[in-house]
Amino acid sequence: MSKIRVLLVDDHAMVRQGLKSFLELTDEVEVVGEADNGMQALAQFEALQPDVTLMDLVMPELDGIEATKHIRAKNTHAKILILTSFIEDEKVFPALEAGAQGYLLKDTSPDDLIQAILSIHQGESPLHPKVTKKLMSQLQKKPQAEEKQVSPDAAISSLTQREQEVLECLGRGYSNKDIASALYISLKTVKTHVSNVLAKLDVADRTQAAIYAIKHGLVPLDEP
């Protein structure tokens, strides 16, 4: 099996070196390039076409949010995993809106980072637990008037019962393996349902589907 090709983007050389040293000890990952600012990240992504990009947020020349936005605008299939020290709302939500499929903090354990890279490569959306809580809290605070601007009735009714169950699982942050276990279906069937859900809701990825599920009340906001 070929290794997952990873591009490291961080303005601290020691961080990049530490990540590279650890990642290259694994059998699943190969670091194919590095960048120390957002502009260099764009050039490296264009040249290398990595499978997964680990993206820092606060960098010179072009920050990680803008770099993510530019990369995703050119390649909608680009898989970008934010790895940062920042958990503030003004970082988390713009990064996800820019197209990042995952958001982890630098206190994430090495094993969890590897698992996140594998997950995002498989089309899942790994989020740090603190990010998930912030996401749910932020959606809970949105004014009712804003919520009424979007009617989910047509989109929800277009989903089969099983697809609605899958959407609820996405809202809870379940991986494909978790969904398969919860619903007693195969991984192949899960992937088919997830693809159908994304298409019917007209959302770009699992993160956006999870936001949709929470925003429209499919996942209780007081769940642990």
Structural domains for the chain: 4-136 (3.40.50.2300), 142-215 (1.10.10.10)
Mean pLDDT by 10 residues, the chain (224 residues): 91 92 89 95 95 94 93 92 87 87 88 89 79 65 47 75 89 83 90 89 80 76 50
DSSP code per residue over 143-182? -HHHHTTS--HHHHHHS-HHHHHHHHHHHTT--HHHHHHH
Residue for token digits 């007209």?
A: 202
Q: pTM for this one? A: 0.70
Which residue stretches of 30-128 are H helix? Answer: 38-48, 64-74, 89-98, 110-121
Which pLDDT belongs to residue 144? 45
- Looking at residue 147, what is its pLDDT? 44
- Residue whose C-alpha is closest to residue 212's, from 159, 175, 176: 159
| DSSP 8-state code for residue 99 | T
